[in-house]
Amino acid sequence: MLFSEHDKIIFAGDSVTAAGRALPAGEGLFGAHGNGYVSYIAGFVDAVYPWMDLRVVNRGISGDRICELAARWQTDVLDDSPDWVAVMIGVNDVWRKFDSPHMRESHITTEEYRMTLTRLIEETLPKVKGMILMTPYYLEPNRSDPMRAELDERGAVVKELAEKYALPLADIQAAFDSFLKHMYPAAVAWDRVHPNYIGCALICKVFLDAVGFDWKGGVV
């Protein structure tokens, strides 16, 4: 596994990451990690690798686009001195174009997304052991659907930057595409974005596979 003993991993993103997490920082008791995929990841790393004493921190904020994430990056991510940073962002950048079509000032182009994510990566890598990039997703099997097509553009950017900077990639959209051959999207996310326990478990698995988690190792 990529992580070493006592590493701190910060998860940065939007509501899919936040999932009701505690403020100001999502860690600690009483469901502080939220009820989403971050809590699943925290549970598995502690259950299977308890001696590693990994520290998982949820810094997702509901509604964030890449610009809001960038605005709080210093205080919410870098100032917290993480060893690793995992990022999944992009669905709101696209969603605002479709649910608020007249508010053009809130629309984020693919190029703006690329430039901002590139800047965050370049600012962060000198200060951490590494980053894990996660593709944003939309649970729509029809790839010609306008929102799905635009999310795919963002996903392509994430994959491009993961390759450019040699970063681990968790391709969440690809995993859901395979999954949705067997189950209808509404059974996983009522709005095709916010996952239930099934979707959270799938995101967790894809992330842990990307970081080399040994499902057969550990204490169980």
Residue 101's pLDDT band (cuts 50, 70, 90)? low
Considering the domain boundaries, does residue 93 fall inside one? yes
Contact 149, 185 (CB under 8 A): no
Options 15, 39, 83, 93, the catalytic residue: 15
Considering the domain boundaries, does residue 3 fall inside one? no
Q: How many domains does the chain have?
A: 1
Options 53, 79, 99, 191, the catalytic residue: 191
Mean pLDDT of 101-124: 90
Is 80 among the residues known to form the active site?
Answer: no
Predicted local confidence at residue 140, as pLDDT: 95
Considering the domain boundaries, does residue 141 fall inside one? yes
13 forms beta bridges with: 88
Contact 20, 34 (CB under 8 A): yes
Considering the domain boundaries, does residue 1 fall inside one? no
Any alpha helices (H) in 55-145, and if so which ranges?
66-71, 73-76, 91-99, 110-124
Considering the domain boundaries, does residue 220 fall inside one? no
Is 194 among the residues known to form the active site?
Answer: yes
Q: What is the CATH number of the domain that holds 138?
A: 3.40.50.1110
Is 53 among the residues known to form the active site?
Answer: no
Considering the domain boundaries, does residue 23 fall inside one? yes
Considering the domain boundaries, does residue 80 fall inside one? yes
Rg (CA), the chain: 16
How long, in residues, is the chain? 220
CA angle, residues 111, 116, 117, in degrees to nearest 5: 100
pLDDT digits (tens, 9 = 90+) for 133-174: 999 999 999 999 999 999 999 999 999 999 999 999 999 999
Q: What domain range is 57 assigned to? A: 8-210
Residue 92 above 70 pLDDT?
yes
Residue 98's pLDDT band (cuts 50, 70, 90)? confident
Options 7, 76, 152, 194, the catalytic residue: 194
Any alpha helices (H) in 26-87, and if so which ranges?
37-48, 66-71, 73-76
Predicted local confidence at residue 105, as pLDDT: 76
DSSP 145: S
CA 211 – CA 165 distance, rounded (Å) = 16
